[in-house]
Structures are given as structure tokens and as C-alpha cells.
Amino acid sequence: MSEIKGKVLKHDQQTRMMHWVHLICFIILGLTGIAFYWDINIISNIFGGPANASLVHRWTGVLFLTGPTIYILLNFERFSRFIDTISTFTKNDIAWLKTMGGYVPFIKVEHAPPQDKYNAGQKILGGLIIIGCLLIILTGFPMWLWRYTLPAAFLSMCYNIHFWTAIIMILLVGGHFFLAAIHPKSRVEFASMMMDGYVDAEITAHHNESWFNELQKVE
Amino acid sequence: MSTVIAEGVIHVTNDCKACDHCTSICPTGAISGMLGQKHHIDPRLCVNCGQCLINCPFGAISDASSVEMVRQALNDSTKIVVVQEAPAVRVALGEEFGLAPGTNVKNKMYAALRKLGFDRVYDTEFTADLTIMEEGTELIHRVFNALGVEGFESSGPLPQFTSCCPAWIKYAEDKYPHILPHISSAKSPQQMFGPVAKTYGAMKLNVDPEDMIVVSVMPCTAKKYECDRPEMIASGFKDVDYVITTRELAEMIKADGIDFLNLADEDADKFIGLSTGAATIFGATGGVMEAALRTAYEILSEEKLDKVEFEAVRGLAPVREATVEIPVKALGTKLPVHVCVVTGLKYVDSVIEDVLAGRSTYHFIEVMNCPGGCINGGGQPIRRDTY
Amino acid sequence: MSIFKEKEGFTRRQFLKGSAILAVTVVVTGVFAKFGVDIYKASDDYIAERVQGLYTLDESMAIRRSHNNPEIAQIYQEFLSPGGVNPVSEKAHHLLHTRYGKDIPALIEELEHHDEDHAA
Ligand code: HEM
Ligand code: SF4
Ligand code: SF4
Ligand code: SF4
């Protein structure tokens, strides 16, 4: 592969804002939620006691829902491309999954199969996050708004789904954070989503070969 | 005046998940706590009905239990332990053994109680019939008094409220002391059974009432509180010693490994065990009313009813009213009797306000704390039906 | 130094997928709501079933009026109002009636001394 100089705009400004909002909401929701479940007063006291922590949890939940919703409505094209990307699995993705993208220490990979804008792992994560958010939102709001009218059987089911989805999501997001911010092989992407949106073109050409080949050179 | 028992029967345990569901269930506002905060019951306001208990999504509310004491009494050979069971128990106990709600297991229940070691198995329905005699007569006296018939001047005012539900009684005592003269002075069937068993029953059995232990099986947690009220000592002893719930009876049957579903049918014991259909329907909202109407109609009119069902007082609406024309033989006129049935303590306030303001035209008002009546009491099997 | 960007716009396939995911979200929400409504409707059915259980039992009983219960007649005749069936007799009043609220302390007082009164 020849030398590629320059930068790739991977995430535009609105995407990055949405990601920030969602992330901060998620941390607050996760912290307060875990505090409810295990009665951790140290956490709930940060938010002014359990009753206030619950208020914070619920209104942060509103933001957690509206942030992405507004983003999707304003950026439907980008959203559609994202959905297309994460829902398309090619031979290369399967091959990538078989070697776990070379992230697992004991599987040695010479040259990982060419990947899309998101590698197969990220695609799966994206799908799971969408399903998880949907479940957690669908259960969270009834637990709040219809807690008086809903029968006990339905409420306890909501609590169970809400809690277990939250736990799974926290683990997924934890892994996501590790790969994006700490793992030496992939942490170069961190700055892209969190700061200016750009990734080095050479790295992209290497990590996301299929996608890179479709990009337009603007300057 | 607030009633006497300080700590109450119903408590929120540490399992509370702060979901806040119970505050909407509680008819008295006794539960405090916001979403996210562990909840707490104020025993002064709580009427011990247990509705919060059967509706808590996380089973985080518990009731004080006397099962250990009952076990001890059953093991004590110097004691003669008798048991009464409320009407509502027999159509719900089967649910704990996989039967459909509403399945009548009365005769298996008698058999199971004997197997558990109770010396005599009677029936609260007997004293439900007795309640109709006493409370119905009291109502007739109040009506005659209101009509100016001589000889009934000492009778209380109209309308008359029923007195079977201890949750309702405590609520009235706590919140509406001025309504108390309107409540029938007749005790509830459970509390009639206690003194009857320890006097008449002891006499028939030829035992010393001191050696008698009266146990109730109730669909109700408020009955646990009722039997502990300090004035319930008419027999010279504590009238009803222990109350266990339908759930607790099922637990005892299971713990003893009794094969409930395959028990042979048995009958209740003699003298204070026989009952009528009128007593059976006490367990449903409107049942006390209907049973009273059956008896009042036939006694006042001296005629036999062709149809004993009074459909107008049946149903599950929280407040129902009806008018029944009773031809009163002694007066030679037709008396339109206006009745009202309230199920769910939440709905009683406006009915009471009307009575206190003199706007009420009712003669007789039945009040049951639990939605649907005692069949949905706080001691009944907990259901989580999803389809 | 060159800058690379994605092409704007979307293909038909991308548009369909984006719309489909929104549609699926709406459908899942609807199914979940329907599920909730069904549970809500079913959750109190047992009340009517237990009530019906009592009415059915009533219909199956030989005697259906309280005043026709022979043991009731017997307890009045032998014990509560000897010689007749007279509710609210003195004995019935003592055993079967109570008082409420502020009248309770006096009632307890009376009950505690009842035996002595009768002995005297
Ligand atoms: C999307 C909007 C959300 C809403 C409306 C919402 C609402 C709620 C409500 C009403 C409760 C009940 C407890 C209380 O408030 O005291 C709750 C509990 C909880 N939430 Fe959320 N929530 C949302 C999102 C999340 C997210 C994203 C997470 C995790 C990262 C989360 C984790 C939890 C946990 C762990 C509990 C405790 C569950 C339990 O006690 O079983 N929630 N949530
Ligand atoms: S319903 Fe149960 S879990 Fe929910 S707040 Fe009340 S006691 Fe706590
Ligand atoms: S037992 Fe009844 S009155 Fe007491 S807190 Fe529970 S629902 Fe309220
Ligand atoms: S309605 Fe029946 S079960 Fe409910 S509190 Fe009153 S007596 Fe108890």
C-alpha cells in the first residue's frame, strides 16, 4: 500500500455531540441506578440522597432518550448509513470475527481482513446498544410514569429487564471504552469521537480498508 | 381516639425496592416515601388491611405471624384447640395447590385442619349467620326508631354501617369519630365466634374455657389486629387467641406434607359449625348486604322470598346502591329500603361526608376495605396473573 | 495534506434500512405496550372468579338464609335467649356486641367486672 497522507473526518460535529450527551447520561444513569439496586448511599448522597438521585436518574433518562432521537431526526441520512453499515456483514466481517480482529493475545493475525467504517466487533456492539437502549427506555418510563397503575407482575418484570439490560450494557460499554481509549492498537480512534472527529488517513486505510476506498478526497 | 395496638401488623422490610407502587394502593395514606426512597408505614394511620402486601411487586411487605404460637398450642396436649375459617378462605386456599381461583375446597379444608391437629373444626360462617341475626335485628330497631315506632327510642341513628371489616372500623375510629354511632354494634363474625366458642362451645364440649385456644383462618391481615384489641374479652378470656391467614394455612399444610388435593371430604363439627349460603357470600363485596336483605325481608314481611339473589347489590363497582321494597307486616306498609355497598376504603369518604352532612338517604351501608371484598383480602394467596 | 470525507446522501438501500429500524422500534414499542395492557386487564380477573366461586357455593347450599340455620335457632334457644329466638338479648349483647373509639375504655372496665356483677 502506498503512502497515504492526510486526515479522515470520521465523525461530524453533531455525531460527536450526541455521543457525548449519551455517554454522560449513561454514566449518571448507571451510577444512580446501581446505587438504587445495591443501596449504595455513598453514590446517592452525591446526588442529594436516594429520592433526589432518583429524580436525577429519571430526568437524565429523558435526556438519554431525547438526545439520540433529535440526532436521528436531524441526521436521518447519516443515521441510515450507520444502520446500513452495522447491519451489513460481509465475508470479511466473518473472517474478522473468527480471528477476533487480532485483539485476542493468543490468536496471531498477519493482516486482518479489510473492514468497513466499523469493524465487525463494533457493528455487533452498535446493534446491542440499540437493542439495550430500547429495552431500558421501554421499561424505565413505565416504572416512572405508570408506577401507580401498572399491576405488580408487569412492574417487577420491567424492573428485572431494566436492571439486567443495564448490567449487560455497562459491561459492553466498559469493553468498548477499553478498546477505544486504552488498547494501544485502537486507542488512536479515541480522539476522533471525543475531540475533533478526525483520524489519521493512513490508520484508517489500514483499519477500515473497505470504507476508506469509498471516501471522497475533498482537498 | 386512635386505637390501641401500637406497632401494627404490616411492615415494609429491607427488600423494598422503592418502586412507590404501594402508596397508590394504600387507602389511608399510611405509606410514606418517594420513588427511589425506601418506604415506611405509619402504624397510626395504617388499618392493617394488607392490600399493600399483596400488591408489592417485590414481596417486600410482611405481616406479623402467629404460626409458631399456633404450632405450640397444637402440640400442647392440655389445650383444646378449635379453629374457625372465614368464607373467603375456601374459594382461594386451593390456589396455593394449583387450583383455579374460585374453586371451592371447603370440605378438604376441614379435613386438612383436622390433620394439622385441631381438636374441633368449626366455621366462621356459623357466626356470620349469627351476625345477620344480630346486625339485622339492630337495623330493624334503628328503622323503627326513625319511623317513630314506640319502644325503640334507645336505638342508634340511621343509616347503619356494617361492622365486619376491622380495617374499616379502625379507619372510622381514626378519621371519622362522629360516624361511630352509625356503625352497627354487632361484632364481626370472627369476634363473635371467639366468645361463643369459649362459652357455649366450651359448655357443649364440657371443657374449661381456660384450656381452649381459638384460632382463626382468615383472608385478612386486619383480623390479626382485631383479635388483639383489648376489649375483645367478652368470654372472660382473650376471645380469639391467634389469627393465621389463608397463605399461612397453606404453608402449614405444605410443611406437614399433607397431600391436600387428595384429601377425602369432611364436614365441620356440630353446634357452631353449620352454615348457610347467606353466610358463604359474606366473603364477596355486597354479600353481607345480600344476606341481611334475605333475612330482613322474610322476617319483616313474614313471606318467603321466591328468589334469594339480590342482583342489584352484586358486582365489583366500588360504590353500588339499590332500593328494595319490603312489605312490613307489622306496619301494614311497604318500606323502601335504600342500601349502599362500598368496596375499597378509598371510596368511603364521600359516603361518610354525606351522612355527616345529613344528605344521605340510605338505611344500610356495607363497607369492605378490600376491592372485591374479603376474597381479595391481604391474607389471601398472592396472584401475579399475566394473561 | 488531504482531507477525506464520506459521500453525502444515502442510497435507496440505506434509506430503507434507516426507515425500517425506526419502524421496528415503533412496532416493538407497540407490542410491549399491548403486552402491558393485556397484563393490566388480566391482573384482577381472579377477584371476579373468587366472587363467582362464593356465589356458586351459595347456590349449592341446602339452606340459604341465615335465620333458617338450625344451629342458630339452637344457640338462641339454649343459650343466648333461653326459650326463644330473640336476637340482641342481654346475653347476646354482652357477648356479641361491642363499642368503638372513645367508648372502649368503659367497655373494657365493664367486661372486666362482668362476672362479679353477675355473681352479686
Ligand atoms: C432511558 C431512560 C431511563 C429511565 C426513564 C429510567 C428510569 C428508572 C426508574 C424509574 C427506576 C426506578 C428506580 C428509582 O427511580 O428509584 C430505574 C432504576 C434503575 N435504572 Fe433506570 N432509567 C433509564 C435509563 C437507565 C440506564 C441507561 C441505566 C444503566 C446504565 C439504568 C439503570 C438503572 C438501574 C440499575 C436501576 C435499578 C433497578 C433495580 O432497582 O432493579 N437506567 N430507572
Ligand atoms: S411496593 Fe414494595 S417495593 Fe415498592 S415501594 Fe412499596 S414496599 Fe417498596
Ligand atoms: S396495610 Fe393497608 S392501610 Fe396499612 S399501609 Fe398497607 S395498604 Fe395502607
Ligand atoms: S374487606 Fe375483609 S379481608 Fe379486607 S380488611 Fe376488611 S375484613 Fe379484612
Q: Domain coordinates of chain C in residue numbers?
A: 10-60, 66-119
Q: Is the pLDDT of residue B10 over 90?
A: yes
Question: Per CB distance under 8 Å, which residues of A are interface residues toward B?
Answer: 36, 44, 49-55, 57-58, 143-144, 147-156, 159
CB contact (8 A) between residue C54 and residue B87: yes
Assign B155 to helix, strand or coil: coil
Least distant ligand from the CA of A143: 1
Atom of ligand 3 nearest to the CA of B47: 3
Nine-digit cell string for C45: 380477573
Taking the centre of ligand 3 as the mean of its atom positions, its distance from the CA of residue C77, in whole angstroms, is: 41
The answer to whether the peptide bond before residue B159 is cis (omega within 30 degrees of 0) is yes
The angle at the Cα of A165, spanning A160 to A169, to the nearest 5 degrees, equals 155
pLDDT 10s digits, A157-181: 999 999 999 999 999 999 999 888 8
Ligand 2, atom 6, lies closest to the CA of: B22
Least distant ligand from the CA of A36: 1
- CATH 3.40.50.1780 location in chain B: 67-126+188-262
Instruction: Using a CB–CB cutoff of 8 Å, tell me whether C73 touches chain B.
Output: no
What is the DSSP track for A55-71? Answer: HHHHHHHHHHHHHHHHH
Taking the C-alpha atoms of residue A85 and residue C17, their distance in angstroms, rounded to an integer, is 10
Q: Is the pLDDT of residue B77 over 70?
A: yes
pLDDT 10s digits, B308-356: 899 999 999 999 999 999 998 888 888 899 999 999 999 999 999 999 9
**A171-200 mean pLDDT:** 85
Nine-digit cell string for A96: 474478522
**E runs forming strands in chain B:** 10-12, 31-32, 40-41, 61-63, 80-85, 120-121, 160-161, 212-218, 242-245, 319-328, 333-343, 364-368
Position C80, amino acid: L
Structure confidence at residue A119 (pLDDT): 84
Atom of ligand 4 nearest to the CA of B377: 3
Ligand 4, atom 6, lies closest to the CA of: B165
Least distant ligand from the CA of A171: 1
Q: If you compute the radius of gyration of chain A from its CA atoms, what whole number of angstroms results? A: 20
* Ligand 1 site, residue A65, Cβ cutoff 6 A: yes
Taking the C-alpha atoms of residue A19 and residue A71, their distance in angstroms, rounded to an integer, is 10
Residue of B nearest to A37 (CA): B17
Give the list of residues 6+ apart from residue A110 with CB closer than 8 angstroms, or none.
Answer: none
Topology given in CATH for the domain delimited by A7-12+64-214: Fumarate Reductase Cytochrome B subunit (1.20.950)
Give the list of residues 6+ apart from residue A42 with CB closer than 8 angstroms, or none.
Answer: none
Taking the C-alpha atoms of residue A121 and residue A103, their distance in angstroms, rounded to an integer, is 10
CB contact (8 A) between residue B386 and residue C39: yes
CB contact (8 A) between residue C67 and residue B132: yes
Let me know if domain B132-186+277-374 sits in CATH 3.40.950.10: yes
Q: Which of C85, C88, C102 is the closest to B138 by Cβ? A: C88
**B290-296 mean pLDDT:** 94
- Report which of B54, B45, B79 is spatially closest to residue B245, judged by C-alpha positions: B54
Q: How many CB atoms lie under 10 A from the CB of residue B198?
A: 28
Taking the centre of ligand 4 as the mean of its atom positions, its distance from the CA of residue B41, in whole angstroms, is: 18
Instruction: Using a CB–CB cutoff of 8 Å, tell me whether A142 touches chain C.
Output: yes
Q: Is the pLDDT of residue C119 over 50?
A: no
CB contact (8 A) between residue C17 and residue A7: no
B138 noted as active-site residue: yes
Residue of A nearest to C37 (CA): A150
CB contact (8 A) between residue C114 and residue B236: yes
How many CB pairs below 8 A link B and C?
219
Structure confidence at residue A3 (pLDDT): 64
Q: What is the CATH number of domain B3-64?
A: 3.30.70.20
State the complex-level ipTM: 0.93
**Backbone dihedral region for residue C83 (phi beyond 0: left; psi -120 to 50: alpha; all else: beta):** left
Structure confidence at residue B372 (pLDDT): 95
Chain C: give the shortest CA distance to residue A116, in Å: 12
Instruction: Using a CB–CB cutoff of 8 Å, tell me whether C1 touches chain A.
Output: yes
Contact B137, C66 (CB under 8 A): no
Chain C: give the shortest CA distance to residue B268, in Å: 12
Taking the C-alpha atoms of residue B147 and residue B336, their distance in angstroms, rounded to an integer, is 12
For cell 455531540, the residue is: A17
Structure confidence at residue B1 (pLDDT): 29
Let me know if domain B67-126+188-262 sits in CATH 3.40.50.1780: yes
Q: Is the pLDDT of residue C120 over 50?
A: no
CB contact (8 A) between residue A155 and residue B384: no
Q: Is the pLDDT of residue C8 over 90?
A: no
Contact A73, A81 (CB under 8 A): no
Q: Domain coordinates of chain A in residue numbers?
A: 7-12+64-214
Q: Looking at the DSSP assignment, which residues form a beta bridge with residue B218? A: B245
- Report which of B65, B29, B54 is spatially closest to residue B375, judged by C-alpha positions: B54
- Report which of B298, B311, B338 is spatially closest to residue B322, judged by C-alpha positions: B338
Structure confidence at residue A109 (pLDDT): 65
Taking the centre of ligand 1 as the mean of its atom positions, its distance from the CA of residue B31, in whole angstroms, is: 23
More confident position, C92 or A104: C92
For B133, the enclosing helix (H) or strand (E) is: helix B124-147
List phi, psi (to 5°) of A33. -60, -45
What is the DSSP track for C28-83? Answer: HHHHHHHHHHHHHHHTTHHHHHHHHHHHHHHHH-S--SGGG-HHHHHHIIIIISTT
Ligand 2, atom 7, lies closest to the CA of: B16
Contact A210, A92 (CB under 8 A): yes
